[in-house]
Structure 1
Amino acid sequence: MRKIRLHLIFVIYMAYCGSVVTMAQSALSLTNYTYSPTQLVIGTIQSKEPMARFSLRGPNAGLFSVTKANQLAIKPGAAKSSVPWYDLIIEGRNSKGIQRDTFRLVVDQFIRNQVIAHRGAWKKSGTTENSLTSLNNAIKLGCMGSEFDVHMSSDSVLFIHHDPAIEGIEIEKTPATDLAKLKLSNGESLPTLASYLREGMKQNRTRLILEIKTSKLGRSMALTERVVAMVHQLKAQAWVEYIAFDYEVCKKVKALDPAAKVAYLNGDKSPAQLEADQLTGFDYHFSVLKKNEAWLQDAKQRHLTTNAWTVNDQPTLQWFLDQHVDYLTTNEPELLLELVKK
C-alpha cells in the first residue's frame, strides 16, 4: 500500500509540474507570438475548422485588437510597457460551439547573434550538459539559443538528456518514478521537459532549441505529439524552435503546429525538398555543408534558415560566419561570441 500511495503522490506531482500532458491539440493557433513597440501586429489567428469570428477574453483583452482579417495586434501603450509578456484568451465561435485557448505574447527582446549553445553552455564552466545550469549559463552569456534533447520515459513523461541511456538505464524503458531519482554529475536531478521550459521562460532573450530524439521503440510520433502538447500547454511557443533527425517527426510537428519553426538535422534533403514540405530550414553537420556549399545560397533564396553543427574550432566557425549562416551550433559559445563581435 505504501508503494501505491507513493506512486500516486508522484503522479499527482508530475501532473502539477506539467510532465503529464493531455494529447488533445488546440484548435486555435497564431502565426507568431512576439511583438515590439515597432511591430504591433503580432500575427494571424488560425483555426483547424472555419470560425465565424474571434473574440478576446481575460484581463488583458483590452490591450489587444483583432482585425477583420483575423490579425492580432497589441495597442501601442501596452507594447511600450516594461511587462515582458501578456497572457491572452482567444475564443473562436462556429456551429459546433466555442473553441478557446490561452496564448503567451512576448515582447521581442530575443538575441540575434547566430550563437546556439549545444546542450547549453557547459564545457568551459565544467558543469553538466543538458542541465538547468548549462541552460542558464547560455542565457547569461547572451546566446541566441540553447539547444537540448528530449526523450520519453516508459510511462510517457518527457525528460531532457542527450543519450538514450543515463548511467546504463534506458530512458524509454524506465518509468518516470525511477528516472526522477537519478542525479546528473553536477548534482541536479534529471530535468523534465516541463522544468526545463519553465526555467527558459523566465527570460525573453535566448530561444530554446528543442531536439526531438528518435525513438528506438517506434514511439517517435507519440513523443512528438507529447512534446508539442507540452509546449502549447505551458504557452512556450514564443521561445521554442524544433529540430529532429527523423524527417517524419519534422513533418509531424508542422502538422500539429503549422506556425512552428522546424529544422531538419540529418543532412540528406535538399533545400528544394525542405521548402516543398514547408519546413523552416536545415540544421546540418558542417561537413555536409562543406560538401554542398551551394545549398547555403539556395536555402537563402528560398527563405530557409541555415544552421551548421557542431562547429568548435575557430577556422571553421569563421568560415561559416563568412557564409552568413543564420545559426551556428557549438560547444564553444564563448569563442563564437568573441568572433561575432569582431
Structure 2
Amino acid sequence: MKTRKLFLAFACALSALAAQAQTQVIAHRGFWKAEGSAQNSVTALKKAAEAQVYGSEFDVQLTKDGIIVVNHDDTIGGYTIAETGYDTLKGLKLKNGEPLPTLEDYLKAGKQLPGIQLILEIKPHKTEAEEDLISAGCVRMVKEMGMEKQVEYISFSLHVCEQLAKLAPDSEIAYLNGDIAPKEVKAKGINGIDYHYKVFDKHPEWVKEAHDLGMKVNAWTVNDAKDMQRLIRLKVDYLTTDQPLEAKGLI
C-alpha cells in the first residue's frame, strides 16, 4: 500500500511537470473570430475563457483625462485617444456593438472568469510621463481588485516594462520588441520575453537562454500551423494567436 501511494505521488508530480512544460495558448486580442465577438471586446475575453485557453491578450491606452481604455490602435472612431476626453469616447462602439471598454470594465469581467489569465499590453505612449501614468494606473487598479495573480503584463516599451518591474516585482512581465537577448532583458528586472515568432527563426537559442535564466517565453502572433509546430518543438511556453482553437488542437 505504501509503495502504491509513493508511485501515485511520483506519477502526479511527473504529470504536473509535463503540464508546466507544455506550450499553452493565448488568444490575441481575445477570441475575436468567434461569433458575436470583436477585437479587445469583453465578449472576446469571455469567448477565450469558453475555449479554455491559458490567456486572453488585450491592449490599453490612456485618454487625455487619464482614463485607461481597452483598444489596440491609438485612434478610434476618428479620435486620437490620447488627445480626447473619455466623455467623448465612451459612446463609441466596437464592431460587435459593445461600447469601448475601460480597463475597469475589462478587469471586472475577467474577475468573473478565474480560469483564464489576462495578458495586459500597455501600448507605448509619446512621453515617458504618459507611460509612467498608465503603468502606475494599471498596477494600482489590478491591486485594488485583488487580481495580481490573474493579470500579466507585456509591452513594446522597455521603459514601461522597467516601470512595471518596480511597481509589480512579483508579477509576470514580458518585453515585446524582440531587439535584445534574454540576458539583457533579465538584467533590467523583467522576467519574460514575448517576441514575434520570426525573431526565434533568427535566434532559436534565445528560448533555451531564457529558460536557463528562469524566464518565460512567448511568441506572437502565430497563425500558421507550420509555424506553431516549429515553435512547439522549440518549447516556447506560450503561443499568442488569432487561431486559438487550431493552436490547442496541435498541442
Matches within 5 A, 1:276-295: 276-295=187-206
Which structure 2 residue ranges, 5 or more long, are not aligned? 1-8, 10-19
Aligned equivalent of 2:212, options 259, 284, 301: 301
TM-score normalised by L of structure 2 = 0.89
CA contact (8 A) 2:25 2:241 kept: yes
Q: Which residue in 2 is equivalent to 1:324? A: 235
Q: Which residue in 2 is equivalent to 1:201? A: 111
Q: Which residue in 1 is equivalent to 2:12? A: none
Deviation at 1:226, TM superposition (A): 0.9
Matched, 1:272 2:183: yes
Aligned equivalents of 1:282, 1:234: Cα separation in 2: 26
CA contact (8 A) 1:113 1:144 kept: no
Cα-to-partner distance string for 1:12-47 (whole Å, 9 max, x where unaligned): xxxxxxxxxxxxxxxxxxxxxxxxxx9xxxxxxxxx
Aligned equivalent of 1:230, options 141, 144, 152: 141
Q: Which residue in 2 is equivalent to 1:50? A: none
Matched, 1:312 2:214: no
Aligned equivalents of 2:126, 2:42: Cα separation in 1: 26
TM-score normalised by L of structure 1 = 0.65
Structure 2 SS opposite 1:259: coil
Cα-to-partner distance string for 1:318-342 (whole Å, 9 max, x where unaligned): 11111111000000001001111xx
Cα-to-partner distance string for 1:264-299 (whole Å, 9 max, x where unaligned): 000012111122122111000011111011111111
CA contact (8 A) 1:113 1:143 kept: no
Matches within 5 A, 1:94-133: 114-125=24-35, 127-133=37-43
Aligned equivalents of 1:126, 1:316: Cα separation in 2: 28
Which structure 1 residue ranges, 5 or more long, are not aligned? 1-37, 39-109
Q: Which residue in 2 is equivalent to 1:250? A: 161
Q: Which residue in 2 is equivalent to 1:260? A: 171
Change (3 A) 1:213 1:135: same
Matches within 5 A, 1:68-87: none
Aligned equivalents of 1:113, 1:317: Cα separation in 2: 10
Deviation at 1:131, TM superposition (A): 0.1
Which structure is higher in helix share? Answer: 2
CA contact (8 A) 1:307 1:327 kept: yes
Deviation at 1:243, TM superposition (A): 0.1
Which structure is higher in strand share? Answer: 1
Cα-to-partner distance string for 1:157-205 (whole Å, 9 max, x where unaligned): 0100000001211111111111111111111000000010010111221
Structure 1 SS opposite 2:120: strand
Matches within 5 A, 1:44-83: none
Relative contact order higher in (CA < 8 Å, ≥ 6 apart): 2
Cα-to-partner distance string for 1:132-166 (whole Å, 9 max, x where unaligned): 00000000000100000000110000100000001
Root-mean-square deviation over aligned CA pairs: 1.6
Aligned equivalents of 1:178, 1:334: Cα separation in 2: 37
Structure 1 SS opposite 2:58: strand
Aligned equivalents of 1:281, 1:147: Cα separation in 2: 15
1:114 partner letter: Q
